[in-house]
Amino acid sequence: MTKSPAPLRRPAVARTLKALDRTIAGFRRKHETVALVPTMGALHAGHLALVRRARRAADRVVVSIFVNPAQFAPSEDFASYPRRLAADVAALAEVRADLVWAPDAKVMYPAGFATRVAPEGPALAGLEDKYRPHFFGGVATVVAKLFGQVRPDIAVFGQKDYQQLKVVTRLAADLDLRVKIIGLPTVREKDGLALSSRNLYLSPEERGRAPVLHRVLAECADRIAAGRPIKATLESGAKALARAGFVLDYLEARHAETLAPVRSVKDGPIRLLVAARLGTTRLIDNLAV
């Protein structure tokens, strides 16, 4: 007679710094390593892949869930951003997360809060920062706080937000935060669309067209790798996106580490990065050449 599988253990949920400190101290007393996966919730398979990667890298996995107001402009979707903590905690049980750190805004930004991080370097590459100038200051500030609160040995981020990954990596190195940053390749739907919480905003018709974004990126990468001129290739890609109904913010070829502009494959490893709107939904993606 086969035994039924043991019931999944739901991760503990900390809502205050005192509760967080108590749990992290318990891990440290046992000399356990800690990995952090920062998220804004509305978890999908891409987030869960980050947790699985963290599980392989450390003894304990902490997932933060915090919709960070500091990285939203007044015109953006902070109020409507999906929030579903109970469902997220249940999903995290499936991937064996140990702790969910879910503070509210008053815990993260208490009365009198007056210090913000102003990143430079990859944060001023003329990509996301050109269209969302507030964004990386908000990201760098909240990530610095999360690293100080959780004190992880490792933090895992997705490569889908590629510029953000480079900003966070630089932040950790420049401020001597003693955390190893791991970037996990983008998790995609079968049709190539990068997983994102904002995909929920797409209408069925828009969802049918959305994979064109990745398809155009892949075609551009293949052409550049085959020796085609970068400028002409990206111009052709921009036209293909426009024909599919996208309103393009940028389609750029950049050095994969510094995010500096490149003119040819001789300039170093190349990353293609794109941001475009489909209806009211803004999608981003990137791909190595």
The DSSP result for 46-78, as a single string, is HHHHHHHHHHHH-SEEEEEE---GGG--TTSST
Task: Give the residue numbers spanning the domain of 171.
Answer: 12-184
For the question of residue 214 being annotated catalytic, the response is no
pLDDT score, position 197: 87
Instruction: Check whether 31 is labelled as a binding-site residue.
Output: no
Domain presence at residue 235: yes
Domain presence at residue 192: no
3-state secondary structure of 142: helix
**Pairwise CA distance, residues 160 & 196, whole Å:** 9
Last residue of a domain, one of 160, 184, 208: 184
Instruction: Check whether 42 is labelled as a binding-site residue.
Output: yes
Instruction: Check whether 134 is labelled as a binding-site residue.
Output: no
Instruction: Check whether 112 is labelled as a binding-site residue.
Output: no
Last residue of a domain, one of 151, 184, 217: 184
Q: For residue 20, give every residue at least 6 positions away whose Cβ sits within 8 Å of its Cβ, in sequence order, or none.
A: 14, 99, 101, 103, 149, 150
Question: What sections of the chain are H helices per DSSP?
Answer: 17-29, 45-57, 85-94, 105-108, 128-131, 135-150, 162-174, 204-209, 212-225, 230-243
Domain presence at residue 5: no
**Pairwise CA distance, residues 97 & 273, whole Å:** 31
**Pairwise CA distance, residues 223 & 220, whole Å:** 5
Q: Which of the residues 31, 47, 134, 214 is marked catalytic?
A: 47
Considering the domain architecture, whether residues 139 and 235 belong to the same structural domain is answered as: no
Average predicted confidence (pLDDT) for the chain: 95
**Pairwise CA distance, residues 71 & 5, whole Å:** 42
pTM over 0.75: yes
Give me the percent of the chain exceeding a pLDDT of 70.
98
Domain count, the chain: 2
Considering the domain architecture, whether residues 226 and 248 belong to the same structural domain is answered as: yes
CA 208 vs CA 160, 191, 234: distances in Å = 20, 9, 23
Q: What tens digit of pLDDT does each residue of 67-123 get? A: 999 999 888 888 888 899 999 999 999 999 999 999 999 999 999 999 999 999 999
Considering the domain architecture, whether residues 29 and 132 belong to the same structural domain is answered as: yes
Considering the domain architecture, whether residues 133 and 42 belong to the same structural domain is answered as: yes
The secondary element (H helix, E strand) that includes residue 282 is strand 281-288
pLDDT score, position 9: 84
C-alpha angle 35/159/102, rounded to 5°?
Answer: 45
Considering the domain architecture, whether residues 39 and 132 belong to the same structural domain is answered as: yes
Considering the domain architecture, whether residues 177 and 254 belong to the same structural domain is answered as: no
C-alpha angle 206/289/267, rounded to 5°?
Answer: 130
pLDDT score, position 2: 54
Instruction: Check whether 196 is labelled as a binding-site residue.
Output: yes
CATH assignment at residue 280? 3.30.1300.10
Instruction: Check whether 277 is labelled as a binding-site residue.
Output: no
Considering the domain architecture, whether residues 178 and 205 belong to the same structural domain is answered as: no
Give me the percent of the chain exceeding a pLDDT of 90.
90
pLDDT score, position 160: 96
- List the chain residues with pLDDT less than 50: none
pLDDT score, position 79: 86
CB 172 within 8 A of CB 147: yes
Considering the domain architecture, whether residues 137 and 263 belong to the same structural domain is answered as: no
